[in-house]
């Protein structure tokens, strides 16, 4: 398939995370609080909320201006030290304070010419930031200094696409064990990579081709890292859905379940913390909903109570650190942010419990993050 494989280089990359410290020092923002952050790409701001019992409370100073335009992506480190925000040629870094408030770390801001960072993710142990570029067929890997937030590039991997579909980079996702990475590339399908969590080395291994006229928007590994779920947009109303693949530890993908229906234009996938349910944000203008499924291995079964009403064009989902709530960001507003509780009697059902405005509605709420 013409993959550009990089092997035999385990000793070439020096881990930039070896700072001589055992963790962040006072003031770097390590927190155990329950916080949610929303990236608003219309207003170029970042909203900050504290999660309480069935409520979202804005944190003082929210929203904060990002000081530029074109921001599309964001990620939080697994130790809850930093939030990174990606845009046109820049990665900004914010430390998370003890109250959840974000503070810009200008010394950790990184510029990367001719890039548009459309999706970010961090490795499970918090040592690496992976960034998907929207301008070129490239994935950037950065080591994270866990004390300062400073990024050090260790790899810029150009990837090859086996299908003939148009490449539209949407999302990058890493498996819970950190050993696999997947990207969703629109009509070009998806790619799978192995990832070395010690060296930060990413190696392309497999490609997944969608059917003609379908576009893959989002990818999600299950809790075992053995299955990959794909949100697939169909060409007609009612033709979109979620499909799954079994994934080996070496990154080989095999179809597991054919397309199960979702709302139109499923754009984001998330699994609850019990690893029992998967939810899809349906961004299509005729849907404005969240689909819910029970999951067993690589098999999804639609919940009888699904779908669940949301704001206009829900684009991103996150489960809060307590595991009690699912939060949805709607790029079309009305409401910008909706928080749902998991129904105590009907398992898997989502009950709306709180809403929030993320700025001048609609703020273009495109990404929602939750602390771990």
pLDDT in tens, 263-320: 999 999 999 999 999 999 999 988 999 999 999 999 999 999 999 999 999 999 999 9
Supply the pLDDT for residue 32.
67
In a domain? residue 130: yes
Q: Is the pLDDT of residue 359 over 90?
A: no
The total domain count for the chain is: 2
Strand partners, 84: 75, 93
Q: Is residue 349 situated within a structural domain?
A: no
Residues 73, 120: contact at Cβ < 8 Å? Answer: yes
Based on the domain organization, do 86 and 66 belong to the same domain? yes
Same domain, 266 and 292: yes
Residue 6 lies in a domain: no
Whether 10 has a pLDDT exceeding 50, the answer reads no
Distance between CA atoms of residues 75 and 240, nearest Å? 27
Give the domain range for residue 42: 28-158+319-338+357-372
Rounded mean pLDDT of 113-129?
A: 96
Q: pTM for the full model? A: 0.91
CA dist 336 and 17 (Å) reads 36
Same domain assignment for residues 286 and 234: yes
Shared domain for 219 and 104, answered yes or no, is no
HEC per residue, the chain: CCCCCCCCCCCCCCCCCCCCCCCCCCCCCCCCCCEEEEEECCCCEEEEEEEECCEEEECCCCCEECCCCCCCEEEECCCCCEEEEEEEEEEEEEEECCCCCEEECHHHCEEEEEEEEEEEEECCCCCEEEEEECCCCEEEEEEECCCCCCEEEEEEEECCCCCCCCCCCCEEEECCCCCEEEEECECCCEEEEEEECCCCEEEEEEEECCCCCCEEEEEEECCCCCEEEEEEECCCCCCCEEEEEEECCCCCEEEEEEEEECCCCEEEEEECCCCCEEEEEECCCCCCEEEEEEEECCEEEECCCCCEECCCCEEEEEECCCCCEEEEEECCCCCCEEEEEECCCCCCCEEEEEEECCCCCCCCEEEEEECC
Mean pLDDT for 324-343 is: 97
Report the chain's mean pLDDT, rounded to a whole number: 91
Q: 149 and 265, same structural domain? A: no
Q: Does 303 lie in the same domain as 193? A: yes
- Are residues 135 and 184 located together in one domain of the fold? no
% residues pLDDT > 90 (the chain)? 86
Is residue 20, in this structure, part of any structural domain at all? no
Report the range of poorest mean pLDDT among 14-28, 94-108, 156-170, 290-304.
Answer: 14-28
331 and 276 both lie in a single domain: no
Tokens 């609609």 correspond to what residue?
A: 362
pLDDT band at 11 (very low <50, low <70, confident <90, very high): very low
Residue 15 lies in a domain: no
Is 97 domain-assigned? yes
CATH number of residue 89's parent domain: 2.130.10.10
Residue 347, domain member (yes or no): no
Same-domain status, 193 and 205 = yes
What pLDDT was estimated at residue 31?
59
Percent of the chain with pLDDT over 70: 91
Q: Are residues 138 and 196 in the same domain?
A: no
Residue reference for tokens 């944000």: 281
Q: Average pLDDT for residues 153-168, to the nearest whole number? A: 93
- In angstroms, the CA 275 to CA 239 distance is 26
Same domain, yes or no: 110 and 242: no
171/305 same-domain check: yes
Is 19 within a domain?
no
What is the average per-residue pLDDT within 86-107?
Answer: 97
Q: What is the pLDDT of residue 240?
A: 97
């Amino acid at each position: 398939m013409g993959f550009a494989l990089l092997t035999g280089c385990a000793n070439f990359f020096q881990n930039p995370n070896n700072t001589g410290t055992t963790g962040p020092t006072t003031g770097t923002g390590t927190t155990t609080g329950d916080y949610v952050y929303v990236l608003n790409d219309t207003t170029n701001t970042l909203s900050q909320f504290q999660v309480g019992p069935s409520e979202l409370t804005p944190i003082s100073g929210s929203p904060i201006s990002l000081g530029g335009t074109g921001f599309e992506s964001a990620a939080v480190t697994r130790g809850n030290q930093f939030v990174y925000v990606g845009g046109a040629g820049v990665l900004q870094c914010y430390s998370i304070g003890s109250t959840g408030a974000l503070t810009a770390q200008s010394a950790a801001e990184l510029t990367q010419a001719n890039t548009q960072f459309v999706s970010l993710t961090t490795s499970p142990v918090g040592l690496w930031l992976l960034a998907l570029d929207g301008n070129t067929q490239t994935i950037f890997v950065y080591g994270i200094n866990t004390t300062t937030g400073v990024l050090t590039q260790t790899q810029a991997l150009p990837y090859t696409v086996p299908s003939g579909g148009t490449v539209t980079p949407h999302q990058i996702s890493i498996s819970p064990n950190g050993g696999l990475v997947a990207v969703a590339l629109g009509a070009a399908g998806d790619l799978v990579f192995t990832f070395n969590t010690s060296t930060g080395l990413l190696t392309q291994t497999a490609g997944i081709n969608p059917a003609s006229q379908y576009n893959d928007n989002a990818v999600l590994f299950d809790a075992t890292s053995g299955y990959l779920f794909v949100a697939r947009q169909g060409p007609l109303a009612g033709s979109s859905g979620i499909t799954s693949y079994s994934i080996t530890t070496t990154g080989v993908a095999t179809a597991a379940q054919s397309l199960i229906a979702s709302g139109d234009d499923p754009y984001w996938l998330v699994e609850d913390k019990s690893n029992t349910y998967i939810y899809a944000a349906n961004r299509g203008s005729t849907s404005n909903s969240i689909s819910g499924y029970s999951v067993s291995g690589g098999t999804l079964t639609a919940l009888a109570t699904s779908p669940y009403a949301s704001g206009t064009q829900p684009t991103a989902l996150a489960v809060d650190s307590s595991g009690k709530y699912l939060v949805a960001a709607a790029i079309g507003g009305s409401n910008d942010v909706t928080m749902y509780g998991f129904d105590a009697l009907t398992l898997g059902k989502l009950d709306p419990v709180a809403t929030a405005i993320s700025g001048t509605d609609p703020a273009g709420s495109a990404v929602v993050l939750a602390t771990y």
